[in-house]
Amino acid sequence: MTVTVRFAPSPTGRIHIGNARTALFNWLFAINNKGRFIQRFDDTDIARSKQEYADSILYDLHWLGIFPDVTEYQSRRFDIYDAAVERLKAARVLYACYETPEELDLRRKVRRTRGLPPVYGREALTLTPEQVAEYQSDGRKPHWRFLLPNFTSDPLQPERTDVHWSDLVRGEETVDLASLSDPVLVREDGTYLYTLPSVVDDIEMGVSHVIRGDDHVTNTGVQIAIFKALGAEPPVFGHHNLLTTTTGEGLSKRTGALSIESLRQDGIEPMAVASLAVLVGTSENVTAAHDLNELASHFDPAATSKSASKFDPDELLVLNRALMHHMSFEDARDRLMVLGISGDKAEAFWLAVRGNLDRLSDAVAWWRILSEGPQEPAEFSGEDRDFLHQAFELLPEEPWNGTVWKDWTGKIREATGRKGKPLFMPLRLALTGRTSGPELSDLLPLMGREGTLARRP
């Protein structure tokens, strides 16, 4: 059996780091099992779904390094769901209901006061043909509920019915079908809720493993029953914990909080996002993986915590820095070129500055400092000015070799008696305008003798 997974967001907004976690869990699972990855857009809600969101989701996935084998849209598959509805009706497990939301609400309250669980009491099953005819003549349209298999012979007498599965993330899981209402699969206006199309597609598309957020655990009990009603073997399920903000709020596509787009615009590397999205809330150390294959080797769904994990964007910057520090010139070259950093000094420049960058775009400021001089010339005391004057006089003639910085500062030390910070800080300030930054021994050769002398205060 080929392992087949799917990522199935509704295209109703831009995806955030929590959605990316689901996509990445599936993608890494596919990598580790040489499987297929289906991108499926759950866009049965035509009013809220937008192609531009689907496109943006694909863009974000590509940016993260996820390249689906196929892309499917549920909105193009209604006839397949219609056929499944007919099968369920023929099997008498999909039944028409005519209650309004207000009536249902009232019933729930009555059940509560009687100490009964607030689930749907299947009153629609007791309607006489006359009552149904009356509803229809009143113009009421039915919605359709799936009859959960939680009874022996009388659906009005539900009994505890445990559905078990072995969850890839959570281990043994159980849902009691008697604790749930028969789910509505089709609304009054004929539109589909998510539940049925998802099962139909998982069957049709040969999905072997459904990996999704743990907000779907209860759905899984219901959906396993629907798989069986449609004569199919349910897939393996895995429910990962959800991510929250540092203050514990859930993430939402609507608010745009921690959207992949905003992180990209903030200069965060895809592998910083992917590494944290996958490893936060697992027993693995959170370090930045170089690529998704490497991340896959650290990925074990069973090592994921069962409770929600807080996602701290500051940790992204820590991972980003680590990625910058090790990024080869090869990997950085094209992106540097786009930023105007190219030419025969570009590689040496990159190797000199990468250890000081939070983001790749920070390289621009250093490139400017090196090509144009300090952006804001530093102020010096008279004493430091004299010291620098003397120091610049001692700058070795070209050609320079790899020890020029050491040679120069050696001479300065000898001539002025200064050493340590009083020697290096004025030089750093004069050369770069900053109090910290890359090793001056690496920067000096990039400035050249003329460029260095031009920085004399």
- Whose Cβ is closer to ligand GLU: residue 213's or residue 457's? 213
Which of 9, 68, 301, 437 binds ligand GLU (CB under 6 A)? It is 9
Beta strands 143-146; 4-7: pairing state: unpaired
Instruction: Give the shortest CB-16-to-ligand GLU separation in angstroms.
Output: 12
Distance of CA 165 to the CA centre of its chain: 26
Does 309 sit near ligand GLU (CB under 6 A)?
Answer: no
- Whose Cβ is closer to ligand GLU: residue 198's or residue 309's? 198
Q: What is the DSSP letter of 358?
A: S
Distance of CA 373 to the CA centre of its chain: 40
- Whose Cβ is closer to ligand GLU: residue 42's or residue 269's? 42
426 contacts: CB under 8 Å, gap ≥ 6? 380, 384, 387, 388, 391
Instruction: Give the shortest CB-28-to-ligand GLU separation in angstroms.
Output: 16
Does 216 sit near ligand GLU (CB under 6 A)?
Answer: yes
Interacting stretch for ligand GLU, rule CB under 6 A, among 8-16, 124-132, 175-183, 274-282? Answer: 8-16
- Whose Cβ is closer to ligand GLU: residue 216's or residue 385's? 216
- Whose Cβ is closer to ligand GLU: residue 49's or residue 275's? 49
Which of 4, 10, 44, 304 binds ligand GLU (CB under 6 A)? It is 10
Chain residues 320-359 in contact with ligand GLU, contact rule CB under 6 A: none
Q: Which CB contacts under 8 angstroms, 24+ apart, belong to 133-137?
A: 135/98
Does 253 sit near ligand GLU (CB under 6 A)?
Answer: no
Does 8 sit near ligand GLU (CB under 6 A)?
Answer: yes
Instruction: Give the shortest CB-209-to-ligand GLU separation in angstroms.
Output: 11
Q: Which residues pair with 146 in a beta bridge?
A: 94
Report the C-alpha gap between 263 and 327 in whole angstroms.
19
Give the position of tokens 């930054």. Answer: 437
Residue 41: which of 201, 196, 183, 215 has the closest Cα? 201
Instruction: Give the shortest CB-210-to-ligand GLU separation in angstroms.
Output: 6
DSSP of 382-403: HHHHHHHHHHHHTPPPSSP-TT
Does 212 sit near ligand GLU (CB under 6 A)?
Answer: yes
Residue 177: which of 152, 209, 208 has the closest Cα? 152
Sign of the CA dihedral running 287, 168, 119, 192:
positive
Other CB atoms closer than 10 Å to residue 86's CB: what's the count?
11
Instruction: Provide the H-helix boundaries in 280-362.
Output: 292-297, 313-326, 329-338, 346-353
Instruction: Give the shortest CB-241-to-ligand GLU separation in angstroms.
Output: 14
Does 11 sit near ligand GLU (CB under 6 A)?
Answer: no
Instruction: Give the shortest CB-267-to-ligand GLU separation in angstroms.
Output: 28
Does 198 sit near ligand GLU (CB under 6 A)?
Answer: yes
Instruction: Give the shortest CB-238-to-ligand GLU separation in angstroms.
Output: 10
Instruction: Give the shortest CB-40-to-ligand GLU separation in angstroms.
Output: 8
DSSP of 205-256: TT--EEEEEGGGHHHHHHHHHHHHHTT----EEEEEPPEE-TTSPBP-TTTT
Contacts with ligand GLU by CB under 6 A: the residue count is 9
Joined tokens for residue 438: 């890359």
Does 240 sit near ligand GLU (CB under 6 A)?
Answer: no
User: Binding marks (x or -) toward ligand GLU, 29..48, rule CB under 6 A?
Assistant: -------------x------
Which of 27, 53, 194, 349 binds ligand GLU (CB under 6 A)? It is 194
Instruction: Give the shortest CB-26-to-ligand GLU separation in angstroms.
Output: 9
Instruction: Give the shortest CB-141-to-ligand GLU separation in angstroms.
Output: 25
The two most distant CA atoms of the chain are separated, in Å, by 110
Which H or E run contains 106? helix 101-113
- Whose Cβ is closer to ligand GLU: residue 213's or residue 451's? 213
- Whose Cβ is closer to ligand GLU: residue 9's or residue 426's? 9
Does 53 sit near ligand GLU (CB under 6 A)?
Answer: no
Interacting residue ranges for ligand GLU, rule: CB under 6 A? 8-10, 42, 194, 198, 210, 212, 216
